[in-house]
Amino acid sequence: MNRTHEQRLTALESEAFRNNTTRSPESTDEVALLRGAVNELSADLREHRQDTKEQFAAVNSRLDGIDQRLDRVDQRFDGLDQRLDAVDQRFDGLDQRLDRVDQRFDGLDQRLDRMDQRFDGMDQRFDGIDGVLREILTIVRPAADATVPAQVAGVAG
């Protein structure tokens, strides 16, 4: 049979009381002394048991408070975790968009390289035309120097 500590203590006290009352009158003084000592020990034990119960109740109450605080902290962590998941999704979206922009810039870079090559070709052609024009000007300029003043005088006059 499973009995609590208090039930066992009460049973022992009852048995001790029965045993003390059935003794012979000669040992009455000794029994009375022992009964007094047992009663004092029982009272001390009850008081200690009550103090212990109160202490356990206080510890249990404090543990309940700690448990509630930990639950709130756990809920806060869950909220932070959800918020971080949302931020992570946004960063993934931004990363994908940046990858697409980077791909577009790669295409533009290639087109600009081709345009640069075309401009280099055009620049070389213009350098060639410039050289030809300079040669023509060296030939035409001495003849033009003589006719320009005569033409200017005819227009002015």
Bigger pLDDT: 23 or 118? Answer: 118
Residue indicated by tokens 């993934």: 92
pLDDT band for 72, please (50, 70, 90 cuts). very high
Percent of the chain clearing pLDDT 90 (strictly above): 22
pLDDT band for 110, please (50, 70, 90 cuts). confident
Task: Quote the pLDDT of residue 142.
Answer: 62
133-148, pLDDT tens digit by residue?
Answer: 888 777 766 655 656 5
Residue indicated by tokens 């029994």: 31
Rounded distance between C-alpha atoms, residue 35 and residue 15, angstroms: 12
Rounded distance between C-alpha atoms, residue 138 and residue 54, angstroms: 119
- Mean pLDDT is highest, among 2-6, 62-66, 132-136, for 62-66
- Tell me the average pLDDT of the chain: 81
Task: Quote the pLDDT of residue 73.
Answer: 92
> What is the helix (H) or strand (E) element at residue 16, kind and residue range?
helix 5-21
Question: Residues 101-123, buried b or exposed e (16+ Cβ, 10 A)?
Answer: eeeeeeeeeeeeeeeeeeeeeee
Task: Quote the pLDDT of residue 19.
Answer: 66
Residue indicated by tokens 């009850």: 46
3-state secondary structure of 24: coil
